[in-house]
Amino acid sequence: QDTDEFILPTGANKTRGRFELAFFTIGGCCMTGATFGALNGLRLGLKETQNMAWSKPRNVQILNMVTRQGALWANTLGSLALLYSAFGVVIEKTRGAEDDLNTIAAGTMTGMLYKSTGSV
């Protein structure tokens, strides 16, 4: 079978561009952060309430830790993915090329901006 499976408009690329992949990257990082944060919150909640008996207050405290940590990690990783994707798209459009240098530059600029709020 020599024909392509999909019909593409004239001049369209067969691969997704950096802008299209940005949505997958940001969503994936948010979901990964929420999952990791929820598991970390469960671990912290069980650790902090180990001296309490199993009751409603303990369950509520554990649930609060799970939701708080899940939201914190989802927000952090989602923000980093947004910065990385935005830098990547801007660099690609500025340079007019799709190569590994864009990825390296976007990652470096994201790390520099993220750590710029702290001290050297």
User: Structure tokens of 63?
Assistant: 């649930």
pLDDT value at residue 9: 67
The whole-number average pLDDT for the span 20-46 is 92
pLDDT value at residue 5: 67
Query: Distance from CA of residue 44 to its chain's centroid?
Result: 22
Using CA atoms of 59, 64, 65, 69 in order, give the dihedral in degrees to the nearest 10: 150
By C-alpha distance, which of 70, 38, 69, 65 is closest to 52?
65
Tens-digit pLDDT profile for residues 13-23? 666 677 778 88
pLDDT value at residue 3: 59
For residue 109, is pLDDT > 90? yes
Sign of CA dihedral 84, 87, 93, 99: negative
By C-alpha distance, which of 63, 72, 68 is closest to 33?
72
Entry pTM: 0.76
pLDDT value at residue 18: 75
8 Å CB contact between 23 and 82: no
Tens-digit pLDDT profile for residues 63-77? 999 999 999 999 999
